[in-house]
Amino acid sequence: MEISNLRALYIDQINRLSNQKRFGLNQTFISSPSRAGLRRLRTENASTIPTYPSVIIGGGVAGLMAATYLGQAGVSPLVIEGMNPGGAIIQSEHVRNWPGFLDISGYELIERMHEQAASSGARFEGSKLVDIDLNSWPYVLTLENLATGKTYQIKAQSVGISMGTSSKFLGVPGEEQYWTRGVYNCALCDGPLYKDKNVAVVGGSNSAITEALYLSNIAKKVTILMRGQELRSLDEATKKELLSRPNVEIRPLTTVENVEGDGEKMTHVILQNGEKLELDALFLAIGSTPNTEIFKGKLNLDEKGYIITDEIMQTSAKGIFAFGDITQTPCKQAVCAAGQGAEASMYITDYLNSVEKPKQALLGASPEVIEITSLEQFEEIMRNSDTPVVVDFYATWCPPCRRIAPIYAELAKQYDGKIKFLKVNVDVSELAQKFEVRAMPTFLFFNENKEIVDRLIGANEAHLRNQLELLIA
């Protein structure tokens, strides 16, 4: 069964969470270029494609946490959310192991994390990665806008891969209909809802044993439905313990043919021999697949397809980091993925500090916003400009600046051709002094005659829009 079918069940929630759609990904990879090689490659690739210091692929907990940390470090990452903004945790109605919450829905958790990342300066794109060229640096990512289907390219100095995994499904009738309404794939997450109930685990591997053992502490009865004859375990002690539990029944050579229910909730399954097995819940433990298909032959993957990283969470390519469930981590849990995202952000920041930043790769950079680093550059742009100009004076350490940066970039797209959008980092340019900027952010508005016609202090989107309208009125 296509995971995308199951994801469709959440699409309304997801779209409420974020107007952006998703991203896919595609690409080619490189082995670590040397520092000198990086410089050379960068020179060779100088072009009009916008360059971002940090692009995060994946909008799950790992990606959002990394984005928050990077944003707070002043990097303003671009997050490519993919097909499932929010990631796997959105599927959990009851997250009971997130710090500080006795019980929070995955959806609400993601909503909060999304807001936190955005207010830290992260920008989001509803696109999918279609290709990544790792043979040059900054790496060229080809993205597909999920709303329009159009492809476009960006460059990334660093990439954080947090694309998670896709659960395997049985592909039988009723499975999709009763998904999260009796059918689950995470006993730890949803098992506590079935105290003293009859549940079944599908699968015969180590993970099925772990899930069944956990459920046997909660449920009245746990039936293991397995295709094979024997449980396949890497851990004999756990298997022995499971087999010793009086409320566990093993059904070898058994497959589920149908999942049925009352329309609201699953009530039973039909087995291959036509038997109707009454159940309150069915837990699938038939494995999951890391979303690494496109990295095959490009990044080092283990035999199961998980990305291999080193001690600083870097993949086999320099500047490409991976974290969360897509890696070899044994802890496939939200809090672990988030922790890894946070840690990776520090290595990404270190990496960025070690390479020269292209001019555009600064806070809230976008194709339409020009980063000004010198008075000469500013004067030249003003000389050649035949439209009004707005300048955003910001600082990387200023939270309101980070908040308004993605909005400013979005406005730059909207007013493309009518108003020129510039931005000046007050820490690196003497322009702030020249224009007596004393608070951040400050926006200066220049008319077509290059005269300052207005000055706006603060990150107020409505005021900013008003001033822009006045500028072209």
Ligand X SMILES: Cc1cc2nc3c(=O)[nH]c(=O)nc-3n(C[C@H](O)[C@H](O)[C@H](O)COP(=O)(O)OP(=O)(O)OC[C@H]3O[C@@H](n4cnc5c(N)ncnc54)[C@H](O)[C@@H]3O)c2cc1C
Positions in the binding site for ligand X (CB under 6 A): 22-25, 57-63, 80-85, 87-89, 91-92, 95, 97, 128-129, 162-164, 167, 184-186, 189, 291, 324-326, 332-335, 337
- Minimum Å gap between C-beta 181 and ligand X is 12
- Minimum Å gap between C-beta 42 and ligand X is 25
* Residue whose CB is less far from ligand X, 113 or 404: 113
- Across the strands, what pairs with 260? 268
Q: Which amino acid does the sequence have at 148?
A: T
* Residue whose CB is less far from ligand X, 22 or 268: 22
- Minimum Å gap between C-beta 8 and ligand X is 13
* Residue whose CB is less far from ligand X, 343 or 454: 343
Residue among 288, 285, 80, 71 nearest 164 (CA) = 288
H/E run at residue 76: none
* Residue whose CB is less far from ligand X, 68 or 333: 333
**Alpha helix locations (H) across 120-162?**
none
H/E run at residue 160: strand 151-161
> How would you label 373-411 residue by residue, b for 16+ Cβ within 10 Å and e otherwise?
eeeebbeeeeeeeeebbbbbbbbbebebbbbbbbbbbbb
Q: How many CA atoms lie within 13 A of 83 on its CB side?
A: 17
Q: Which residues are CB-neighbours of 159 under 8 A, at least 6 positions away?
A: 54, 55, 56, 57, 132, 139, 141, 319, 320, 321
- Across the strands, what pairs with 140? 133, 155
> How would you label 307-346 residue by residue, b for 16+ Cβ within 10 Å and e otherwise?
bebeeebbbbbbbbbbbbbbbebeebbbebbbbbbbbbbe
* Residue whose CB is less far from ligand X, 199 or 372: 199
- Across the strands, what pairs with 445? 390, 454
Q: Which amino acid does the sequence have at 300?
A: N
Q: Which residues are catalytic?
A: 186, 189-190
Asked whether the beta carbons of 385 and 449 are under 8 A apart, the reply is: no
Asked whether the beta carbons of 362 and 371 are under 8 A apart, the reply is: yes
CA gap 273, 275 in Å, rounded: 6
- Minimum Å gap between C-beta 65 and ligand X is 8
- Minimum Å gap between C-beta 140 and ligand X is 15
Q: How many CB atoms sit inside 10 A of residue 273's CB?
A: 9
Q: How many residues does the chain have?
A: 473
- Minimum Å gap between C-beta 160 and ligand X is 10
- Minimum Å gap between C-beta 163 and ligand X is 4
CA gap 158, 26 in Å, rounded: 16
DSSP string, 424-459: EETTT-THHHHTT--SSSEEEEE-TTS-EEEEEES-
- Minimum Å gap between C-beta 195 and ligand X is 16
* Residue whose CB is less far from ligand X, 186 or 440: 186
* Residue whose CB is less far from ligand X, 166 or 425: 166
* Residue whose CB is less far from ligand X, 253 or 312: 312
